[in-house]
Amino acid sequence: MLPIAILAGGAASRLRPLTEATPKSLVEVAGKPFIVHQLNLLRREGVERAVLCVGHLGEKIKEFVGDGASFGLQVAYSFDGDRLLGTAGALRHALPLLGEAFFVLYGDSYLDVALHSIELAFQRRGLPALMTVFRNEGRWDTSNVVYDGARIIYYDKRARRSDMRYIDYGLGVLTAGALAGENAEQPLDLAEVYSGLAARDMLAGYEVFRRFYEIGTPAGLAETDRYLSEGAMGIGDHTKTYYEEVAAVAAAIDQSAIERMIGMLIDLRDRGGRLFILGVGGGAANAGHAVNDFRKICGIEAYAPTDNVSELTARINDNGWPTVFAEWLRGSRIGDKDAVLVFSVGGGSEKLNVSANIVEGLKLAKSVGAKVIGVVGRDGGYTREVADACVVVPTINPAMVTAHTEAFQAVVWHGIVSHPKLLQHEMKWEAVSAVAARGGRDCDAG
């Protein structure tokens, strides 16, 4: 994941007297210095490296956080020096530590969002910067952004417009080039950089749906303290986050890999080959369902070894777990006309001896010239290494990798079996609906 710059150099004058001798990042919130909450959240989201851009009482922040090891992070520091540089100037000063692209977060903001999906959006847009936005409608602060669903059309904190519905969320992604300018040594505010990029149609937008929390004002501090004291995420928050992540996975899925799988399955059917579907746990349940769909909807002869409990358990009992799929495939006389489809979260690992049954099954399949396709998660594992086509479900939230991978296995195969080039027999309710739309003629659905 990209490194993150945390802008923590402000004087925090609105929080005085709390901040006369304590930097804002160390103000106590829910029983801990605020930066503890920030760094723990960033680590949860997969961040590995952070750069703290500090000024006012910055040495105290460095003394408390140290090298970041206690938070599971690598933390470096960039000090403003004798002259305040402004938020963008501080980032420019820190570029040697940040590299070519990085997240940027305001030091007084607590933003519980999936960073990986934001990074993917930034990479896809191909613009020098991205701003996250929230549809604020003037509720928690004054809205300051005009957003068209893809790009920031207009951004200004002072010159308000009636069509401003969104607010700068406090998290962005920048390239080093976005900070380039003629007066590199002059103080510069990040808001000016964003405004200039928006005016040149060079600022991507990304909408988030969970409200922001901040400690920049006494009221904001009190509200954030309550939120974090109550455990931050409630039932509704989890549900909202889950479906935000679902949308992010769907947007990032490799559609070209799915198209390659469809092409291979068309060829498989044309040559009279069979499809063997391998999965364990949730993948086994998906395999059984998919067998039905490929046989009934697409006319492809399909089988799953986990559907025959008697044979499966006998082979496990007699020969062991690692070889169960390979021996089943061997007993089925798998050949070069056939294909194997894998549903797995990790894809199997020979080195770690994880899902060895999938690994051994794929070794046999490759040895006889059968095609291998898969829908897997994490890094794809052994399946991705040997597959002729493989969809790796993007990891948006590491804590939800199994849930998203197994859910999207179903999304992917349903998209495949309903593809016009594979679909041979309409699904029941679509057929019923079509007949009903014609006035009920030939309708015998009951």
The pairing of beta strand 152-155 with beta strand 145-147: antiparallel
141 and 286 share one domain: no
304 assigned to some structural domain: yes
328 and 417 share one domain: yes
- Write down the pLDDT at residue 433: 57
- pLDDT (tens, 9 = 90+) of the chain, 446 residues, equals 899 999 988 777 777 887 778 888 999 999 999 999 999 999 988 899 999 999 888 899 999 999 999 999 999 999 987 777 888 999 998 999 999 999 999 999 999 888 888 898 899 889 999 999 988 777 777 888 999 888 999 998 888 888 888 888 989 999 999 988 645 667 888 999 999 999 999 999 998 877 888 898 898 899 899 888 876 555 456 787 788 889 888 988 899 999 999 999 999 999 999 999 999 999 999 999 999 999 999 999 999 999 999 999 999 999 889 999 999 999 999 999 999 999 999 999 988 888 999 999 999 999 999 999 999 998 899 999 999 999 999 887 777 899 999 999 999 999 999 999 999 877 766 655 554 555 655 544 33
Range of the domain at 212: 4-251
Q: Please provide the DSSP assignment of 392-427 as one string.
A: E---S-GGGHHHHHHHHHHHHHHHHHTSTTT--S--
208 and 302 share one domain: no
334 and 310 share one domain: yes
**CATH no. for residue 57?**
3.90.550.10
- The residue written with tokens 């997969």 in the block is 46
390 assigned to some structural domain: yes
- Write down which residue in 251, 274, 306 finishes a domain: 251
110 assigned to some structural domain: yes
444 assigned to some structural domain: no
Tell me how far apart the alpha carbons of residues 308 and 213 are, in angstroms, rounded to a whole number. Answer: 53
190 and 339 share one domain: no
Q: Residue 24's closest CA among 70, 57, 53, 68?
A: 57
Tell me how far apart the alpha carbons of residues 277 and 290 are, in angstroms, rounded to a whole number. Answer: 8
163 and 180 share one domain: yes
- Write down the pLDDT at residue 445: 39
Any idea of the CA torsion for 413, 417, 419, 423, to the nearest 10 degrees? 180
445 assigned to some structural domain: no
112 assigned to some structural domain: yes
- Write down which residue in 225, 251, 277 finishes a domain: 251
333 and 405 share one domain: yes
- Write down which residue in 204, 225, 251 finishes a domain: 251
When divided into structural domains, the chain yields a total of 2
261 and 213 share one domain: no
List the structure tokens of 200.
């040149």
- Write down the pLDDT at residue 81: 75
Tell me how far apart the alpha carbons of residues 446 and 444 are, in angstroms, rounded to a whole number. Answer: 6
- Write down the pLDDT at residue 446: 37
51 and 144 share one domain: yes
Q: Residue 417's closest CA among 319, 296, 288, 251?
A: 296
AA letter at 296: K
- Write down the pLDDT at residue 52: 95
